[in-house]
Structure 1
Amino acid sequence: MDSDSNARSAAEFQPLYAQVKALITRRIASGEWKPGIMIPNEFQLASEYKVSQGTVRKALIALEAERLIVRRQGRGTYVARHTSERALFHFFRIVDLDDRRIEPWSRTLSQKSITATHLLATQLEIEPGTPLHFITRIRCLKNIPAIYEQIYTPVWMMPDLKITTDAQMVDEMYVIYQDQYGLTIAHASERIAAVAAAAEEARLLDIAEATPLLEITRVARDVSNVAVELRISRCRADLFRYAVELN
């Protein structure tokens, strides 16, 4: 297996299937294989990387488990494409008090450029002073203003990002990142805290000031594990809650 020998050399301690998985991931991350495209079949990949089809199959199974590819019986294997439904199912954890998933819609309040503070830079793993897009929005559930969000993403990744304000928006931000800039969100880490609603948040969410809110701080990363977005969501805890299944 001689393709991308530097990557393989750096990961020689990994099982062979993991090395193949890493090489395929690099091709997705680089944009060589774009979202929605069909990739070579197991036989072709095995021949290219000079490994067995079983090794390739194991690598593809691992990639499918990470939702980086989609395998369609009798049709081939494709690079996964974000849809609003797919992004919601994978990343949106808010349910109603009966544990029912609710499809949100969003209204952007503002968008402007700022420079990263030390704290923002640490969270996004960039240098302080790096230009950022800063977006604020309200997400509605059951037509109720339920979540106040602040979104930060580096300008250099998406120089001309423009989110229309005031209009109702159904598409997930992750769909926009992928469709317009080729950035596929593959992983995210979240931290949860209880906070009190500030005056502006209380006004926007139609609740009393100091009402308890659930704060979810998420850092979303692309296929190469580069931080693409910091999102701070403050959610009403009286009508909705956070739910996650652990395997």
Structure 2
Amino acid sequence: MTEHKLENATRPESPAGAEILGFRPLYRQVKEHFVRRLVDGVWSPGMALPSEGQLANEIGVSQGTVRKALDELAAENLLVRRQGRGTFVAEHDEQRILFQFFKLVSDDGVARFPDSRVLDIASEPADAAESAALNLQPDERVIRIRRIRSLGGKPLILETVSLPEQVFPGLQDSAVPNNLYSLFATRYGITVANARERLKAVALTAEQAAHLSVAAGTPALEIDRIALSLDGSAVERRLSLCLTEEAHYQSDLR
């Protein structure tokens, strides 16, 4: 289907990054246009994009404007540039999640994708914390997943994942894969674009400690994450209790 050219594509482009008289730079408008294609599923995970020239001609802007918009999306890990092959929609494969979302690293410095074992999964009324985190109405339900995550065969994380049931209907009735974000994208068309995390030191309760085979009161790192989709909606709350005797939280600042 042919899309209309941007309405203001003939307006002269503003200097790099400048916003004049309230107008956004044209490349930012092109970027938002491309994000909408991702949100609407026009561009799906793993899909090869048309060339920069084709895109520029299609929406009526310069190739340089398209390149700048695509570069920003690649920097945000939504697209992948492959030398000699083109530009592709990023997939939530284990390598991407390890790089972008999973920050617990063994003290030996080797980054590994964790294994998972589901303890239970159910559709239940959202509690106050879940409702606040996911912007739910008082009567809305969540799909709540509890699982143990291990690094190198050792249980290190007790994780509770809360998902709005209206966004992920029926998820509780099927097998839960280790890589949830890939499932969100392929089955529900929801791409997790970024997340906010809060970290806090806590002591494990007796029940929490039993799941991780440690003593009650053992110190742990609590990571409270809100995952956001491409349109900025909160689609997941993930509360992780992490043992850090043999692992640490690593964040690379850029």
Compute the TM-score of the two structures, normalised by the length of structure 1.
0.90
Consecutive unaligned residues in structure 2, runs of 5 or more: 9-21
Q: Which residue of 2 aligns with 1:48?
A: 58
Change (3 A) 1:102 1:33: closer
Specify the SS of the correspondent of 2:251: coil
CA displacement, residues 199-246 of structure 1 (integer Å, 9 cap, x when unaligned): 111111111101111000001111111111100000012221111111
Alignment-derived partner of residue 195 in structure 1 = 202
2:241 aligned partner, one-letter code: R
Deviation, structure 1 residue 14: 1.7
Q: Gaps (5+ residues) in structure 1?
A: 7-11
2:94 and 2:113 in contact (8 A); partners too: no
- 1:141 corresponds to which of 146, 151, 157: 151
Match for residue 87 of structure 2 among 74, 77, 90: 77
Q: Is the 8 A contact 1:106 1:140 kept in 2?
A: yes
Match of 2:119 in 1: 109
2:30 to 11, 20, 41: 20
Confirm whether residue 89 of structure 1 aligns to residue 99 of structure 2: yes
Aligned-residue offset at 1:67: 1.1
- Measure how far apart 1:79 and its partner are: 1.2
Is 1:132 matched with 2:142?
Answer: yes
2:44 aligned with 1:34, yes or no?
Answer: yes
**Cα distance in 1 for residues equivalent to 2:181 and 2:227:** 9
How far 1:48 sits from its partner (Å)? 2.1
Detail structure 1 runs of 4+ shifted over 3 Å in the superposition. Answer: 1-6, 162-165
| RMSD after superposition | 1.9
Question: Secondary structure, in 3 states, of the residue corresponding to 1:56?
Answer: helix
- Structure 1 position 128, deviation (Å): 2.3
Match of 1:121 among 125, 128, 131: 131
Distance 2:249 2:159 in 1: 15
How many angstroms apart in 2 are the aligned matches of 1:192 and 1:215? 6
Q: Cα gap change, 1:148/1:202 in structure 2, threshold over 3 Å: closer, same or farther?
A: same
Percent identical? 43
Q: Tell me, what secondary structure is at the counterpart of 1:47?
A: helix
Asked if the contact 2:6–2:60 (Cα under 8 Å) also holds between the matched residues in 1, the reply is no
